[in-house]
A and B are shown apart, each in its own frame.
Chain A
Amino acid sequence: MTVNPTGPTKKPAASADSQTVQRRPLTPYMRAVGAVAWKDLRAELRSREMITSMVLFTVMTVMVFSLALELDAEARKSTVVGVLWVTVVFAGTLGLSRSLAAEKDRGSLDALLLAPVERSALFFGKVIGNLIFVLLVALVLMVLLTVLFNITLIEPLLVLIVILGTVGFTTVGTLLSSMSVHARARETLLPILLMPVMMPVLISAVRASSAILDDLPSSEWIAELRMLAVVDVVFLLGAYLLFGFVVEE
């Protein structure tokens, strides 16, 4: 989903001991994307601070929902999709703001921007890293809801919709959190910026997943699925075009 058709395919940088003074060519696109994503994953594997807080937050949100709504078996069935998506969005927003804030506070954002790679490669690397965390949280949540709410959520179609939904959410979320990270009240600004923009994703995803959960025929949800895919493509394209302007200093 992050293939860039116009990406540069120049050869990797010459060995460091080469004496010629010349501009270092760009690292191949996909390798740069992979390196950024892998860096995020490794940092997370060592510190585990983001994924721990996201998973704990998820568990607590499910607790709050079942206590606040006093869910019986009937109510659980009708609210489970809402609980799923609200929790994914909130936990995801939490993770997104941490991901970029940590990068900026440690000063590693500047280092990344100095690297001889395309700016959009950095962006897609960050998106893939964030996507893996959000998807992981979503999967944990789906298992959790399957167990606690006694409703089977682990279905191929539902997983597909969760993947499509999180792709759209993380793409626009990563772009916006790279802006909100420079703001004064960044933790509160990100949700305000993100919620209205990602609403097309949320609406389609919620409708499609509740239709699938009710075992409705595919004619009931195929339009939502298509809408979700279209919005994802629009967001990926838009973020690809705009990210360069956000991080240009």
Chain B
Amino acid sequence: MAVSSQHAPYPENRTRILQALTLATLVLFAASLVLDWAYVGPERTQGEVQRVFYVHLGSFLGSFIAFTAVVVGGVIYLRTRNPKWDTFGLANVEIGLVMSAITIVTGMTWAKPIWNTWWTWDPRLTSVTIMWLAYAAYMMLRAGIEDPERRRRFAAVYGIIAFASVLFTIIIVRVKPDTIHPVVAGPTQADPTGAFDVTDRIRNTLFFSLFTFTVMTATLVWYRVRLENLFERVLRRKIDILAEL
């Protein structure tokens, strides 16, 4: 995705693919909203507020994909030293931060009627906040280091370390018996067999929403990478023009 030569135009077919992805994201998101509001119906015990769950889990999946991509980008950067993998990592951190912020905010709107509080120091709520802070620290690290080569290298290293907080968030509800956060799928202390006991409509809506957020994350990351590349091109142009004067 990096611009190889200095003044080469952005490849036409890539722009087409991105436009198609954008359209797909919009259509998918609209469709999943329709499913959420019209198809799935209020949940038996939780009522209308349960509808936010599809966005909640979807955005968490988005942040999980993005933060995993940060590790992949970091490892590849450290092996190849190609700056485009650093741009890829940066884009994924920013999109992951937005996605997990959505997870936290939707979780709070759900918690107020269900738990009668916006916030509680439950293990999972705590760990997802730690995760968000770890990636906010990634941005601080980038801002603090001036040498570009060193900034890329340190960012790759920290992006890999910070993934510990993502694993922590996923594992913690499985091993801590004292969480009140619901676990929808997979084994827990209370239910080691890991049942996935929902109606067909809920399952369909959930999987559709997860798919939507996956596509959305990929699209947003692509836009962010493109923006960064454009930014660098402008910078190079500026230097060229100044050199000609």
B21 interface contact, C-beta 8 A = no
A154 interface contact, C-beta 8 A = no
Q: How far is the CA of A185 from the CA of B137 in the complex (A)?
A: 13
B contact residues, range: 20 to 34
Q: Chain A 237-249, CB within 8 Å of chain B: the 1/0 string?
A: 0100010011011
Tell me which residues across on chain A come within 8 A of B146, comparing CB atoms.
184
Q: How many A-B residue pairs have CB under 8 A?
A: 74
Question: Could you say which of A23-31, A115-123, A187-195 contacts chain B?
Answer: A187-195
Tell me which residues across on chain B come within 8 A of A242, comparing CB atoms.
157, 160-161
Q: Identify which of B161, B162, B165, B175 contacts A175 (C-beta below 8 A).
A: B161
Tell me which residues across on chain A come within 8 A of B154, comparing CB atoms.
179, 182, 246
Q: Does the CB pair B164–A189 fall under 8 Å?
A: no
A196 interface contact, C-beta 8 A = yes
A227 interface contact, C-beta 8 A = yes
Q: Does the CB pair A197–B145 fall under 8 Å?
A: no
Q: Does the CB pair B175–A223 fall under 8 Å?
A: yes
Q: Chain A 190-212, CB within 8 Å of chain B: the 1/0 string?
A: 00110111011001000000000
Tell me which residues across on chain A come within 8 A of B168, comparing CB atoms.
199-200
Tell me which residues across on chain A come within 8 A of B55, comparing CB atoms.
none
A89 interface contact, C-beta 8 A = no
B134 interface contact, C-beta 8 A = yes
Q: How far is the CA of A245 from the CA of B86 in the complex (A)?
A: 14
Q: Does the CB pair B133–A179 fall under 8 Å?
A: no
Q: How far is the CA of A238 from the CA of B74 in the complex (A)?
A: 14
Q: How far is the CA of A13 from the CA of B156 in the complex (A)?
A: 35
Q: How far is the CB of A41 from chain B (nearest CB, A)?
A: 27
Whether A234 contacts B164 in the complex (CB less than 8 A), given A193-B137, A242-B157, comes out as yes
Tell me which residues across on chain A come within 8 A of B140, comparing CB atoms.
189, 192-193
B153 interface contact, C-beta 8 A = yes
Q: How far is the CA of A195 from the CA of B133 in the complex (A)?
A: 9
Q: Does the CB pair B141–A193 fall under 8 Å?
A: yes
Tell me which residues across on chain A come within 8 A of B236, comparing CB atoms.
none
Q: Does the CB pair B145–A183 fall under 8 Å?
A: yes
Whether A197 contacts B157 in the complex (CB less than 8 A), given A184-B144, A192-B140, comes out as no
Q: How far is the CA of A199 from the CA of B137 in the complex (A)?
A: 14
Query: Which of chain B's residues 113-142 have a Cβ closer than 8 Å to chain A?
Result: 123, 126-127, 130-131, 133-134, 137, 140-141
Query: Which of chain B's residues 56-74 have a Cβ closer than 8 Å to chain A?
Result: none
Q: How far is the CA of A222 from the CA of B158 in the complex (A)?
A: 30
Q: Does the CB pair B150–A227 fall under 8 Å?
A: no
Tell me which residues across on chain B come within 8 A of A246, comparing CB atoms.
153-154, 157
Tell me which residues across on chain B come within 8 A of A54, comparing CB atoms.
none
Q: Does the CB pair B144–A172 fall under 8 Å?
A: no
Tell me which residues across on chain B come within 8 A of A203, comparing CB atoms.
123, 126
Q: Does the CB pair B144–A227 fall under 8 Å?
A: no
Q: Chain A 209-242, CB within 8 Å of chain B: the 1/0 string?
A: 0000000000000010001000000110010001
Q: How far is the CA of A238 from the CA of B164 in the complex (A)?
A: 10
Q: Does the CB pair B156–A193 fall under 8 Å?
A: no
Tell me which residues across on chain A come within 8 A of B108, comparing CB atoms.
none
B18 interface contact, C-beta 8 A = no
Tell me which residues across on chain A come within 8 A of B161, comparing CB atoms.
172, 175-176, 197, 238, 242
Tell me which residues across on chain B come within 8 A of A193, comparing CB atoms.
137, 140-141, 158
Q: Identify which of A176, A189, A197, A249 contacts B144 (C-beta below 8 A).
A: A189
Q: Does the CB pair B144–A196 fall under 8 Å?
A: no
Would you mind naming 19 contact pairs between A and B with Cβ atoms under 8 Å apart? A182-B147, A182-B154, A183-B141, A184-B144, A184-B145, A186-B144, A193-B141, A196-B134, A196-B162, A196-B165, A197-B162, A199-B127, A199-B130, A235-B164, A242-B157, A242-B160, A245-B156, A246-B154, A248-B153
Query: Nearest 6 CB-CB pairs, A to B?
Result: A183-B144, A196-B134, A196-B133, A199-B130, A179-B154, A192-B137
Which residues from chain B sit less than 8 Å from chain A, CB to CB? 78, 123, 126-127, 130-131, 133-134, 137, 140-141, 144-147, 150, 153-154, 156-158, 160-162, 164-165, 168, 175
In addition to A179-B141, A235-B164, 4 A-B residue pairs with Cβ atoms within 8 Å of each other are A176-B158, A189-B141, A199-B127, A246-B153
